[in-house]
A = this chain, B = another copy of it.
């Protein structure tokens, strides 16, 4: 019997869901903008509707459950969102139980960074590695870690909040309330904000011409066309990404660093600056660690969390565990 999971990626900007098979293939997908300021009930209702919409004509018996990945910190063991900075009201919220009550399938909640690390490890850019750090750069900066051949979870499954390491003491205010976090400097949000500020003071740039929106993709587009300001902005972003990645090399010693999230669309433009910072700042034995783009594009988290659902479900061809019978 074919088995399927519903994977849900609940982000501060978008909710995305997909029907996923055991080989990590996405068969059906749906998404909507997250009503991030509307309160938990509205967001859970959105999530329910989008998740149900991907089931299509798959019989209920073939669905093993729902995997939700969401921004941390969350308690993966208990299925509780503890204090999500980017979604209002997600404080001590029993998200897994709420969704389970609506959908009637087992629900597994996982930190989006850890889920994406798992997806990249099983099916993406980290296949076959024993040690991997995944970094997602979009609205915020998140991550997940595989070390010594296992997902790093630690207390309450809260390890790997890489976006919230201070890299500038008493620096910019972050979404988490602290100052100087890597996220406050290297996220797509921070990148776009710097771009808007700089463009307003630079008559020669093509950024924002004719009232065009200034966001990450616009900066990458302008940089690839040779716009000087856009190139400087990309260099600065790459250096800030490299700054944090050097820390992660020293802290987790991965075999590979995998970069995903919206900003990885500009990965080729960012990579030289990232490598430059690594070569300048990492201790020599860490410098040869490859930095690669995520292999599953934006689906690392969806796919990763679905593997947890399959692992937790009883096997369809299960053999009862028992002592071997020996004919004497």
Contact = CB atoms under 8 A, between A and B. Distances in A.
A225 B323 CA distance: 69
Nearest to A82: B285
Contact of A131 (B155, B165, B166, B178): B155
Given A156-B285, A285-B156, A285-B158, A246 B169 contact: no
A168 interface: yes
27 contacts: A73-B285, A82-B285, A83-B283, A85-B283, A131-B154, A147-B147, A147-B154, A148-B150, A148-B154, A152-B152, A153-B253, A154-B252, A154-B254, A155-B289, A156-B285, A158-B253, A159-B253, A160-B253, A161-B253, A164-B250, A164-B283, A165-B165, A165-B251, A166-B281, A168-B169, A178-B281, A251-B251
Contacts of A147: 147, 152-154, 159
A167 interface: yes
Interface in A256-298: 280-286, 289
Interface of A: 73, 75, 82-83, 85, 130-131, 147-148, 150, 152-162, 164-169, 171, 176-179, 185, 243, 246-247, 250-255, 280-286, 289, 328
Contacts of A185: 169
A303 to B, nearest CB: 22
Given A131-B155, A162-B250, A164-B250, 18 more contacts: A73-B283, A75-B285, A82-B285, A131-B154, A147-B154, A148-B150, A150-B150, A154-B253, A155-B253, A165-B165, A165-B250, A166-B243, A176-B283, A178-B246, A178-B281, A178-B282, A178-B283, A251-B251
Listed residue (A168, A176, A285) with the most chain B CB atoms within 10 angstroms of its CB: A285
Instruction: Count the copies.
Output: 2
B166 A286 contact: no
A286 B284 CA distance: 32
Nearest to A146: B154
Contacts of A148: 150, 152-154
Contact of A243 (B161, B169, B243, B284): B169
